[in-house]
Amino acid sequence: MASKERTYHEQTNIDYTLRLRELLKTLPPFAKDYFRAIEYTSSIRTRLNYAYDIRVFYHYLIEYNPVYRNYSIEQFQPADLEKLSAVDIEEYMDYLKVYKSDDDALRTNGEKGLARKMSALRSFYGYYYKHQVITQNPTLLVDMPKQHEKAIIRLDVDEVALLLDYVESAGSTLSGQALKYYEKTRDRDLAILTLLLGTGIRVSECVGLDLTDVDFKNNGITVTRKGGNQMVVYFGNEVAEALKQYMQGDRKVLSPLPGHENALFLSTQRRRMGVQAVENMVKKYSRQVTPNKKITPHKLRSTYGTSLYRETGDIYLVADVLGHKDVNTTKKHYAAIDENRRRQAASAVKLRED
């Protein structure tokens, strides 16, 4: 299949698969069995992340565990997994809080990062334990890191309007090269922000959109969800207007580079926009409107989910539209006490009579 005929998601899967193959060369040879086994029950992105996490584990053993200090990665055998104790695993968890990566950069992990890396290690151990390759699984004797709930950051209704208004009118505050760049990208950026705020799609789903995925007859876009499933997500008139203005204007006159002809959102280099480019764009505009909130594309998704739940009260609809496999995930994020009700608590209790 020619490169230009592949969809964004097909090309991403190919790129990740090639990266995983290279990464497996830096792990013990027997690790290939594990990654082959989980191929049909996990996404390529998950397997790639797990491979990075498992590599950190082996680098830790070589660097800090006296038993394996002189080992090469090829020397490790499955039997070495059961030679480690629960204390060894706990020491590894402590190491993960702050460590240096291969490029000598300092890495840190909070609760979420620790939980993911320990989940990868437990899964790795679990495979060999289940298949009776090892008889001991010390990861089961170690408690997983506790994760505390964090306040969900999202835009308020007035902040959504302020953000879109700012994108439309920011040119009045710019000059020179900054103004030229803004004029080139305004309609595209407005279309992306309006789409994210009006549908709640993920940033990876957004950059993966092709021109043919947009259906103005039914006001819907065909997105490829996590795991590869396709779904039509419907949008309202505001999103339709923003998309039409971009597609019938700037997008129509652009000449994409080979392999990017079908991409809906193009960079100024005439390539399909990437996730990081959209993240940087969202950050650039939002910090002008809400400097005290760290807004990302995922926060725009949370904003949409919250608004949809408030308007409909239907948590199952919210879960379906957002593409959540487990409705409990949706309940956890969107069915908590409404912030407006929480604000009412501030004035509900009187300390002194007027």
CA 120, 123, 127, 133 dihedral sign is positive
Beta bridge partners of 319: none
**Contact by Cβ (8 Å): 111, 148:** yes
Pairing of strands 106-108, 98-100: antiparallel
Inside any domain, residue 346: no
Q: What is the pLDDT of residue 336?
A: 57
Average pLDDT for 47-54? 96
81, 147, 86, 93: which is closest to 118 by C-alpha? 93
Tell me the two tokens of residue 68.
């394996």
Q: How many CA atoms lie within 13 A of 143 on its CB side?
A: 4
The CATH number for 106's domain is: 1.10.150.130
**Is the pLDDT score of 52 beyond 90?**
yes
Average pLDDT over residues 307-332: 86
Average pLDDT over residues 108-120: 93
Q: Which of 2-6, 10-14, 28-32, 221-225 has the lowest mean pLDDT?
A: 2-6
In total, how many domains does the chain have?
2
**Are 104 and 202 in a shared domain?**
no
Structure tokens at 275: 């996730």
Tokens of 342: 């929480």
Q: Write down the mean pLDDT value for the chain.
A: 90
User: 211 with 134, same domain?
Assistant: no
Reported as a pLDDT band with limits 50, 70 and 90, residue 105 is: confident
Q: If pLDDT is split at 50, 70 and 90, which confidence band does 354 have?
A: low
Which residue, of 141, 171, 191, is where some domain finishes?
141
Please write the tens of the pLDDT for every residue from 162-182: 999 999 999 888 899 999 999
Domain that holds residue 172: 157-337
Looking from the CA of 347 toward its CB, the CA atoms found within 13 Å total 5
Confidence of residue 339 (pLDDT cuts 50, 70, 90): low
pLDDT confidence tier of residue 337, bands split at 50, 70 and 90 = very low
> What residues are paired with 233 via a beta bridge?
221
Distance, CA of 228 to CA of 259 (rounded, Å): 21
- pTM score, whole prediction: 0.83
Q: Assess if residue 75 is contained within a domain.
A: yes
**131, pLDDT greater than 80:** yes
